[in-house]
Amino acid sequence: MLRAFRPYRLFIFFLLFCTLPKASQAQTQHTFSGLVRGADGLALPGASVAVPTLNLGTATEADGHFSLSLPEGPQQVVVSFVGYTSQTLAVNLRHNQQHTFTLAAANAELAEVVVQGQQTLKEKLQSTQMGVEHLTIREAKLLPALFGEVDILKTLQLKPGVQSGGEGSSGLFVRGGSADQNLVLVDNVLVYNPNHLFGLFSVFNSDAVQSVDLYKAGFPAQFGGRLSSVVDVKLREGDREKFVTTGGIGLISSRLSFEGPIQKGKGSFIVSGRRTYFDIFTRALNRANAGKEDYSPIPDYYFYDFNAKANYTLGEKDQLFFTGYLGRDIFGFTSPNGFQANFTWGNTLGALRWQHVFSPRLTVNTAASVTSYKYNLGNSIDQFSFDLGSTIRDYTLRTDFDYVPNTRHNVKFGALLTYHDFGVGRLQRSSQDNSVNFGADVSYTGQEGAVYATDNIKVTDKLQAELGLRATGFQSAPNHFGGLEPRASARYSLSDNIALKGSYALMYQYVHLVSNSGASLPTDIWYPSRLSVKPERSQQVSSGASFLLGGGKFLLTDEVYYKWASNQIDFRDGAQIFANNDLDSQFLFGRGWAYGNELYLEKKTGKTTGWIGYTLAWTKRNFPPQLGTTGINNGHDFYPNYDRRHNLNIVVLHELNPRISLTASFVYTSGAPTTLPFGRFALQDIYQGGIQAVPVYPDRNSYRMIPYHRLDLGLVYKLRPSRISGQRDLTFSIYNAYNRRNAYFIYFEQTRDKATDKVTGYRAQQVSLFPLIPSVTYNFKF
């Protein structure tokens, strides 16, 4: 499995060469570093720190820190950030120097509610990174949302190259990848199942999130372990100056956050909680209908989650960070006859990170984390009980170095080690009198490791490249695998307003999702690479051009990509995936490939902002005959159900006045592929008593449903702040504003004569999920 990839030798040589001090750099360089934060003490990630006269600049890291290598002498440093007043500082560099910038909000009222973190379009143009979407919670909070539940993952679905799993779903299908091929990170900790409520909502509470970066291509070498995307979510830090309470009351859930300083100037904390209350209504309905004939009680369902984050400054060079998350979905049912069923699932994660600044040029972050996902399904009747569950738990140690040797290089390198504990399937059926007692417990362990190095090199004023290499390994005794993952991206500036970009990335995925539903279900099982289940592997090349238009107000980007993947996993028909100690025999393996073009026009400044994205794409899979089966689709190519030929997204945000913001988003996609039965036959079965019509499905996903389109409208109205209630706003949303009947699925049924109830024929029915849905959410902060 370990492949000798010749280019890596060249890369290592290049890396070493680049990091050596250069004789040609005669002028003395000094490091100017520090922190950019808002007036409330919160770090501002993504703020621009630039020296315009030298055409040099950088963006602050997630914790607000920056580092620039500048020539000795007087320099004008300009710090800017959308929503804040820019600052200019005159420095006379004679030695390494540090400075903390505190930016005032440009519009105090707006900035209190809004947390921004946007790259400017100019910086995006100049970045070597392509295929990346940066999204702030500001945009997500302003945009209309289903049931008023702000969801940053659903907002990502409005970006080009990203498909949702279906109506209302928060699933992400990025450039032809499946939902389990996304590396979803919260403050660098993996989240195995980022969904609540069977995929309708994500696990991210909007009050706790600061921003998210979605990488679709050119993956930086510090990321690995999944094939198709990186969803890098950063949680917000608490206010370092004062105690603040934030919350919201919505149609189906409420949320509350509390934040403040730990020791003024030393650190801060934030804790956030959220809970749905759908179950309160259903319980009341059940009580009202108790005892009625033919009334079937509605099961209880709710979810909750808690987020916590804290930071503490140990000294000038050391800081500690803590991130925690606990989320559970709970589904319970008790029948009047005494039958009970309970189903719980959710993620738990925690991480402790230590940041140490060796020097203004070298910083290290070392973190220990644990993440787990589990579900448990149990029911009981009299003395008999049934219990089914699965767990995955990871313990990870990682260290990441950031080294800026000179103005031409920015080197990142690091390593991580993860211990995986796979509780693939646990099933127990038992009775108190021991007349029934059997079960299964299938579990594995695995160790995954990676080392990486990457250098962002300014080759010339026009050419900038990022070259990286990641070496990964995985073992689940007695099997072990490994591979080299080269990463490269480059930007060439044709002019100040035009840049050409290209990238290549190879990815391995050693941990696989076992789910044959084609949808996000809580019964997800994660499975290690083993002798018969080889690591999934993908490669992607992409290239594109970016144009800064309208005097820098608009950025037009066009990217083409081609991705090919091997060892893709699916399941044989009727696969038994629960508590099966021979799960390997249920898998089928195949190839996949995806290609397309993404056109993206965005505007980030002014009273009207937004974007238009258009994607033309193809995604295909092939699973040839194998293991005594005919493969999938008889070995012919087929489109997975998230393949969409055309996808148009238009998002507009308009600030009507300081108190009213209007938003609209429009989505158009080609019809989703689906599998319909072409034929049917009659089956009597062993006994007489009704003849079943059995559907015959000759092909997979060969039928396209009607195109999907939808318009959502939103309005945020800021109420006048008062001493008692603090700042407040009302957020109105209209989902599916023109009440489009989009196809969720199609099925066939018999038609019957109303008078005689005799079968008259067969017809196709289209089912839609959500019509026009208005909602209002009350948000507050004091």
Partner 1 sequence: MFLVVSMRRKVLIGFGLLGVLAGCKKLQNDANVVLPTYPNQLVAECYLESGVVPRLSITESVPYLDNGQAIAAGSQILTLPNGQTIQLPTDVTVSLTLPGGQPMPLRFSPGIDASTGKYYTHIGTRAITATAGQQFGLDAQDKRGRHLTGTAITPTFIPIDSVKYKFNGLTGDNKKAYFMTKWTDPGATIDFYRLMLHKGKPANNSETDNDIRDKLFNGQSYAQVTTYRFRPGDTVTATLYHVDSLYFDFRQSVRNARNANGNPFAQPSAIHSTVQGGLGVFSVLVSDKRTVILK
- Contacts to partner 1 from residues 657-676, by CB under 8 A: 675-676
Measured from the CB atom, is 107 or 437 closer to partner 1? 437
CA distance 358 to 19: 17
Residues with Cβ < 8 Å from 585, sequence gap 6 or more?
Answer: 627
Least distance (Å) between residue 166 CB and partner 1 = 7
Candidate residues 43, 183, 416, 579; the one interacting with partner 1 per rule CB under 8 A: 579
Q: DSSP assignment of 38-95, as one string?
A: ETTS-B-TT-EEEEGGGTEEEE--TTSEEEEEEESEEEEEEEE-TTB--EEEEEEESS
* Near partner 1 in 200-219, by CB under 8 A: 200
Q: Quick check: 484 and 507 in contact, CB under 8 A?
A: no
Q: Is 19 in the site for partner 1 (CB under 8 A)?
A: no
Measured from the CB atom, is 607 or 741 closer to partner 1? 741
Q: Quick check: 307 and 235 in contact, CB under 8 A?
A: yes
* Near partner 1 in 718-737, by CB under 8 A: 736
Least distance (Å) between residue 196 CB and partner 1 = 11
Q: Quick check: 423 and 437 in contact, CB under 8 A?
A: no
The dihedral over CA atoms of 105, 109, 114, 117, expressed in degrees to the nearest 10, equals: -20
Residues with Cβ < 8 Å from 42, sequence gap 6 or more?
Answer: 64, 115, 236, 237, 239, 240
**Residue 237 CA: distances (Å) to CA of 79, 133, 180, 592, 769:** 21, 22, 29, 40, 37
* Near partner 1 in 466-505, by CB under 8 A: none
The β-bridge relationship of strands 48-51 and 73-80 is: antiparallel
Candidate residues 449, 518, 635, 721; the one interacting with partner 1 per rule CB under 8 A: 518
Q: Is 573 in the site for partner 1 (CB under 8 A)?
A: yes
Least distance (Å) between residue 689 CB and partner 1 = 4
Measured from the CB atom, is 84 or 201 closer to partner 1? 201
The stretch near partner 1 (CB under 8 A) out of 15-23, 202-210, 294-302, 467-475 is 294-302
CA distance 59 to 126: 12
Give start and end residues of each alpha helix (H) in 535-580. Answer: none
Q: Is 166 in the site for partner 1 (CB under 8 A)?
A: yes
Candidate residues 28, 53, 289, 517; the one interacting with partner 1 per rule CB under 8 A: 517
Least distance (Å) between residue 587 CB and partner 1 = 14
Least distance (Å) between residue 425 CB and partner 1 = 11
For tokens 């105090």, name the residue.
108
Measured from the CB atom, is 18 or 377 closer to partner 1? 377
* Near partner 1 in 306-365, by CB under 8 A: 331, 335-339, 341, 343
Least distance (Å) between residue 413 CB and partner 1 = 43
Total interface residues for partner 1 by CB under 8 A: 109
- CA proximity to 87, closest of 107, 99, 104: 104
Residues with Cβ < 8 Å from 321, sequence gap 6 or more?
Answer: 63, 187, 309, 310, 311, 351, 352, 353, 354, 355
* Near partner 1 in 117-156, by CB under 8 A: 147
The site map against partner 1 for 357-396 (x = CB under 8 A) is: --------------------x---xx-x------------
Measured from the CB atom, is 24 or 765 closer to partner 1? 765
Measured from the CB atom, is 297 or 726 closer to partner 1? 297
Residues with Cβ < 8 Å from 361, sequence gap 6 or more?
Answer: 31, 67, 69, 403, 404, 405
Measured from the CB atom, is 269 or 331 closer to partner 1? 331
Q: Is 586 in the site for partner 1 (CB under 8 A)?
A: no
* Near partner 1 in 597-656, by CB under 8 A: 630
Candidate residues 71, 260, 299, 624; the one interacting with partner 1 per rule CB under 8 A: 299
Measured from the CB atom, is 119 or 568 closer to partner 1? 568
Least distance (Å) between residue 617 CB and partner 1 = 22
Candidate residues 100, 107, 432, 760; the one interacting with partner 1 per rule CB under 8 A: 760
Measured from the CB atom, is 147 or 223 closer to partner 1? 147
Residues with Cβ < 8 Å from 161, sequence gap 6 or more?
Answer: 131, 174, 175, 216, 559, 561, 596, 598, 615, 617
CA distance 482 to 467: 20
Candidate residues 298, 320, 330, 352; the one interacting with partner 1 per rule CB under 8 A: 298
* Near partner 1 in 427-446, by CB under 8 A: 427, 429, 431, 435-436, 438-440
Least distance (Å) between residue 618 CB and partner 1 = 21
Candidate residues 746, 776, 778, 782; the one interacting with partner 1 per rule CB under 8 A: 746
| φ and ψ at residue 226, rounded to 5 degrees | -135, 155
Least distance (Å) between residue 771 CB and partner 1 = 3
Residue 424's region, left for phi above 0, alpha for psi from -120 to 50, else beta, is: alpha
Token pair in block for residue 43: 């770090």
- CA proximity to 268, closest of 309, 301, 225: 309
Residues with Cβ < 8 Å from 338, sequence gap 6 or more?
Answer: 381, 382
Q: Is 770 in the site for partner 1 (CB under 8 A)?
A: yes
* Near partner 1 in 83-122, by CB under 8 A: none
CA distance 209 to 134: 13
- CA proximity to 778, closest of 244, 206, 249, 143: 249
Measured from the CB atom, is 243 or 681 closer to partner 1? 681
- What single DSSP character describes residue 236? P
Least distance (Å) between residue 690 CB and partner 1 = 5
The stretch near partner 1 (CB under 8 A) out of 31-39, 231-239, 455-463, 512-520 is 512-520
Least distance (Å) between residue 336 CB and partner 1 = 6
Q: Quick check: 69 and 25 in contact, CB under 8 A?
A: no
CA distance 201 to 239: 27
Three-state DSSP at 586 gives helix
* Near partner 1 in 680-709, by CB under 8 A: 680-698, 700, 702-703, 706
Q: Is 761 in the site for partner 1 (CB under 8 A)?
A: yes
CA distance 546 to 572: 44
Measured from the CB atom, is 119 or 775 closer to partner 1? 775
